[in-house]
Amino acid sequence: MNFYTCFPNALLHYGWLSPKTIRVMKLVSFFMIITCLKLSASAYAQRITINVKQQPLASVFSTIEKQTGYQFWYKSKDLENAGKVTVNLDNVELTQALDKVFEGQPFTYELANKTIVVKPKEKTIIDKIGAYLRKQLITGIVTDEKDLPLAGATVKVKGTNKTAQTDTDGKFKLSDVDDAAILVISYLGYETAEVQANANLKIRLSLTSADLKELSVVSTGYQNIPKERATGSFVQIDNQLLNRRVSTNILDRLDGITSGLIFNKISGPIGVAPTNEKLGISIRGRVTIDDKVSADPLVVLDNFPYEGDINNINPNDIESISVLKDAAAASIWGARSGNGVIIITTKKGKFSQGLKIDLNSNITIGTTPDLKYSRNYLKSSDFIDVETYLFDQGQYNVNLSDVNFYPVISPVVELLVKRKADPSNPAILEQINNLRKVDVRDETAKHFYQKSINQQYSLSLRGGSEKSIYSLSIGYDKNKNNLVGSGSDRLTINSTNTYRPFKNLELMASLIYSKSNSAIGYQYTSPYPYVSFADENGNPLAVPYGRRTSYLESTAALGFLDWKYRPIQEQAYNDNTTKVNNILLRGSARYSFTNFLNAVLQYQFETENGKIQGYRDPSSYEARNNINLYSQRASNGSFTYPFPKGGILYLTDRNLNSNNLRAQLNFNREFSTKHIISAIAGAEIREIVNDGNNRILYGYNDSFGTATTNLNFNVAYPVNPSALGSIVLPSPSGTVTGLTNRYLSYYANGAYTFLDRYTFSLSGRKDGANIFGARTNDKITPLWSSGLAYEISKESFYNFSIIPYLKLRASYGYNGNVYNASAYLTATYGVSSQTGLPTATITSAPNSELRWEKIRNKNFAIDFAAQKNRITGSFELYEKLGKDLIEDALIPASSGFVSYKGNAATVQTKGLDMILNSINVDGNLKWTTNFLFSYNKDRVISYDTKYTSQYLTSNQANSAGPSRYGLYINEGNSLFGIYSFKSAGLDPLNGDPRGYLNGAVSKDYVNILTNTKIDDIIYHGSSRPMNFGSLRNTFSYSGFLLSANVTYKFNYFFRRKSTTLVYADVLNSGSVNADFIDRWKKTGDEIATSIPSVVYDFNYNRNTFYQSSETLVEKGDHIRLQDITLGYNFTKNALRKLPFSSLEIYSYVNNIGILWRANKYKLDPDLSDYSFAGYNSYPLPRTFSLGIRTTFK
């Protein structure tokens, strides 16, 4: 369909209408006509057998058409007033059957020439009077399955505006009801019932079948698809499951309950989160390599991608989440769908529903972090022993004699210097021994950490009349984090109003507002285990920092500002806050041309502004250090301060504005119950503008908001200590950044279902974007997908009674990933700090062939349900093949570049997602089990750069290499491969680590490192789990609900951190490790330990070999008891006297602990030793929540 041609131009040339428009008009008229007319042309016998229960009249008509060859003529509008039909007829005459079918319906029929004309009943005056007289008072009671009254149920007279609500006893009253009228009784969570009006009704509603019906509709962000007609791979997380967890962040709630989705808490062997994985989520693995291509799934809020901070979204406002995994599901999102799509749908009201007020509130308390978890620590006594040894070796002589830069000297080394000068003084030794008893982790826990407390409140009001829906929710979260001074609060307001001013038009306007403030506390990791932060009276103590204490004291004596550093004082003097305001405005208009064709125009505006403020008090170390550094002391002892005295204020403003406009036609039509066609076509434009600026104010006075502005940034001042030379003042960058991304997309998606069992879907999308420099044609990428679904259990030949529901699905297609960079040689403007002249920096090597990443998806699935849904589930097999992946192709440095970006790499991921749900015990006690299992294996098929053995086995980012964020790539293996050198144990003579060179045991480290062939190093596997999933057991018994989730991750590896083997480095904050204690010390130790001897020899190759050897690679496999939730739902009976229609009290314990792990060092594989130096890395503390969730009457 080519409807996006130059219509405005055509208008000019051809007058009002172009031929194409006329064609469209004709097409539309055709569709309109065939709605009013039903044509069918077959002839069969005129005896009829019908056995239906609560079927729509239209479907009964088509059954009759099939059996008789007669055709029905009717206005489909009229049938809207029809009641449902329940008849049981066996081989009866047509007229007899028709009489029965039309019984109680507001229609009559006429037979003429094989045609049955259906007309509304013409009422005679007598009829009307009779009807008036027969109008009656209807009373009744609505109950649930256990005959307990339901309060607030809606009772409506079908075809009229007459409604009533049940009172607290479940009773209702309706006067003046036609005796033939049909009542529709609805209540949220229950099946809607239709009954014939009668004097004394007792209506019992049954609960909506939770297992199947709740999954009935999946959202793609463009349309809602009935699950039974979906061909793609969707995971739907409903409200109940989302609320199982207690969290401030919405995405956290997906963890452990979503098949095929994994949270990569650590990514890559060095544990640095890649910059392109901000959400830390991957759906069915990752194929993207380059860090400029996002590897995150696309997050969509209702209908449009959410550009703001995901933390703005209040989970209490969310109704459900759909995760789109394959091409058929996600390719409608085109060039941004390559990593899957997460559709977040907010709660909305319903037409004709009474006011519903929900309140949810909870409090979560988290334990103080376990600082003694980390192995990156040496106890004070051991630390002092090493310092003493190194001191005796002369290790500190250079620093001790340095009177140029005065490097920091540790307190113990200072004491050792004193002791050397005065060996007979016992006080010095005693001082040293006293330090042996100090554990800085206790001090850190005391001064820097606390129990976390999160409070959450949410109130929502929802309801609707015939013509409007309204919903308003207000949420407030207040979090106090583990780190003292860290925390946040968030206010969210969410309001949606829908109006139906006249029948075919629906207008919607919504506003989502979020305001948050967050603060980051001050953190300090001491390089010495024996320092104290406060004296006995709680006064802050200084720790060695910056420069040697004696130098700092000498400057103070000369009149410089105090230059010492006191960690706990800094907590009060450093203030880092972020304020974010996000406003999302949305409006849409839906016009229904007919009941099967409607058009929607949607517009969304999102604006977010963030203010990041960093304030350094005049007393903060940072302010004092800068002032002192530049202080100019005259010979008479007077001072001038080129760096002004006062505080420092860092200000960053960032703004995001996005505009989205979408126009879409929806077509949804059932033809003679055999054919269902649902299709959408549309176009959208999006613009996202990010801008920001930052400022730094020196000499800032927070009381008055003033700062020193007349600074001279061109003068180089002699600084202190004088060996540093002359330095200009750090000039505050005043750059204004601006980023504009524009997208233009056309899309169409259609699904055809035949006989309710065969569905074929086809989806196509074209995307254009303003990738700077490329020609428009090159920027448009067509992506498509198609899918098939086959509900085999509906076939007549299917008689496998154990599995009454069986559906097969298959899909194939392409998704894309955006690479937002230029194909041409581009430069970025800046300003020279040396001359002040404008400068241009070339940002990347040009590549005119550059295009977006394209990912081919294949998916094959089986959905099944056993009898009575005792076991339901699905198996899905998939393959993702990224063929045009952007990679850093290395090029000779003589080109002026080290690498350039090209679409050359290929990565494949294959896997299986399995869901099994079972109802183990059904009755008063209900026990259900949900089992998720995912298998995902990725393999790099082609990658240009061939890394050396030494590089692949290296354990840390190599700054000279291309930026790879933890990716160690070798063709044929996982993108996240972990490699190591083979180890031949320790040399029994001296504890040297041994490896292999050309098959023989060797200690020739240089040669092992440089000459081992790639085939001779060990490829362990991926650093991301190949198998993962969860097992959730839920028990419910008379209002109590207990659920526990066990998650597991198998088949992956991580590199453990160990001590350095170079004695001189043992205490460096980057390499200190408890392994040092268990190192090889004497012959025989090699039996008990794998840690080599640590020697005072600068043999770095020996150390590198050990760090890269297989000894330190561990299996990450573990099973974790993630959480337990226990809730109690008060029965209706108990609530009868209370103002609640439902009341639930719940408790939740999260991060309970690891049940089993493969490594014997008690390491949590979800936390990398490499991610933090020192002891400040700890597993997520356990949290306890208590909450209440209620609906008011």
Out of 843, 942, 1068, 1069, point to the residue binding other proteins (CB under 8 A).
843
CA distance 1161 to 1167: 13
Least separation in angstroms between CB 42 and other proteins: 33
Does the protein bind other proteins through residue 35 (CB under 8 A)? no
Least separation in angstroms between CB 19 and other proteins: 14
Q: Looking at residues 99 to 158 of the shown chain, list those that interact with other proteins (rule: CB under 8 A).
A: none
CA distance 609 to 601: 27
Out of 81, 609, 657, 826, point to the residue binding other proteins (CB under 8 A).
826
Least separation in angstroms between CB 22 and other proteins: 10
Part of the chain binding other proteins (CB under 8 A), chosen from 378-386, 399-407, 433-441, 452-460: 399-407
| The token pair that represents 656 in the structure block | 């995001």
Out of 822, 934, 1122, 1190, point to the residue binding other proteins (CB under 8 A).
822
Q: Looking at residues 273 to 332 of the shown chain, list those that interact with other proteins (rule: CB under 8 A).
A: none
Nearer to other proteins, 767 or 1123 (CB): 767
Does the protein bind other proteins through residue 832 (CB under 8 A)? yes
SS3 937: strand
Out of 56, 159, 846, 1179, point to the residue binding other proteins (CB under 8 A).
846
Site track 1055-1094 with other proteins (rule: CB under 8 A), x = hit: ---------x------------------------------
CA distance 991 to 152: 79
Least separation in angstroms between CB 591 and other proteins: 6
Full strand arrangement of the beta sheet holding 107-112: 71-73, 115-120, 107-112
CA distance 74 to 59: 13
390, 552, 716 from 416: Cα distances, Å:
11, 20, 39
Does the protein bind other proteins through residue 768 (CB under 8 A)? yes
Out of 130, 189, 718, 734, point to the residue binding other proteins (CB under 8 A).
718
Whether the CB-CB separation of 239 and 320 falls below 8 Å is answered with yes
CA distance 397 to 228: 77
CA distance 465 to 223: 24
| The token pair that represents 275 in the structure block | 């910059």
Does the protein bind other proteins through residue 15 (CB under 8 A)? no
Out of 537, 710, 722, 1038, point to the residue binding other proteins (CB under 8 A).
722
Q: Looking at residues 1099 to 1118 of the shown chain, list those that interact with other proteins (rule: CB under 8 A).
A: 1100-1101
Using the structure block, give the residue that is written with the tokens 């390559």: 338
472 CB-near residues (< 8 Å, 6+ apart): 460, 461, 462, 493, 494, 495
Least separation in angstroms between CB 1134 and other proteins: 53
Does the protein bind other proteins through residue 834 (CB under 8 A)? yes
965 CB-near residues (< 8 Å, 6+ apart): 267, 268, 272, 274, 275, 276, 291, 957
Nearer to other proteins, 863 or 888 (CB): 888
Whether the CB-CB separation of 346 and 319 falls below 8 Å is answered with yes
- Residue-level length of the chain: 1193
CA distance 193 to 185: 5
161, 221, 248, 582, 688 from 306: Cα distances, Å:
39, 12, 17, 11, 11
Nearer to other proteins, 897 or 927 (CB): 897
Part of the chain binding other proteins (CB under 8 A), chosen from 193-201, 576-584, 679-687, 1032-1040: 679-687
Does the protein bind other proteins through residue 593 (CB under 8 A)? yes
Least separation in angstroms between CB 892 and other proteins: 4
Least separation in angstroms between CB 403 and other proteins: 5
Out of 130, 189, 501, 830, point to the residue binding other proteins (CB under 8 A).
830
Out of 388, 770, 1089, 1142, point to the residue binding other proteins (CB under 8 A).
770
Q: Looking at residues 966 to 1025 of the shown chain, list those that interact with other proteins (rule: CB under 8 A).
A: 1006, 1009-1010
| Closest of 728, 696, 707 to residue 646, by C-alpha | 707
Does the protein bind other proteins through residue 838 (CB under 8 A)? yes
Angle made by CA atoms 333, 338, 344, in degrees to the nearest 5: 55
Nearer to other proteins, 888 or 1086 (CB): 888
DSSP string, 511-530: EEEEEEEEEE------SSTT
Part of the chain binding other proteins (CB under 8 A), chosen from 299-307, 360-368, 551-559, 765-773: 765-773
Nearer to other proteins, 29 or 425 (CB): 29
Does the protein bind other proteins through residue 663 (CB under 8 A)? yes
Q: Looking at residues 732 to 761 of the shown chain, list those that interact with other proteins (rule: CB under 8 A).
A: 735-742, 744, 746
Site track 776-805 with other proteins (rule: CB under 8 A), x = hit: x--x--------------------------
Part of the chain binding other proteins (CB under 8 A), chosen from 133-141, 408-416, 713-721, 794-802: 713-721
Least separation in angstroms between CB 1042 and other proteins: 53
Does the protein bind other proteins through residue 640 (CB under 8 A)? no
| Closest of 624, 663, 615, 674 to residue 645, by C-alpha | 624
Beta pairing class for 136-143 and 200-204:
parallel
373: exposed, middle or buried (C-beta count within 10 Å: 0-12, 13-18, 19+)? middle
Part of the chain binding other proteins (CB under 8 A), chosen from 199-207, 678-686, 994-1002, 1048-1056: 678-686
Does the protein bind other proteins through residue 958 (CB under 8 A)? yes
Q: Count of residues binding other proteins (CB under 8 A)?
A: 100
Whether the CB-CB separation of 620 and 627 falls below 8 Å is answered with no
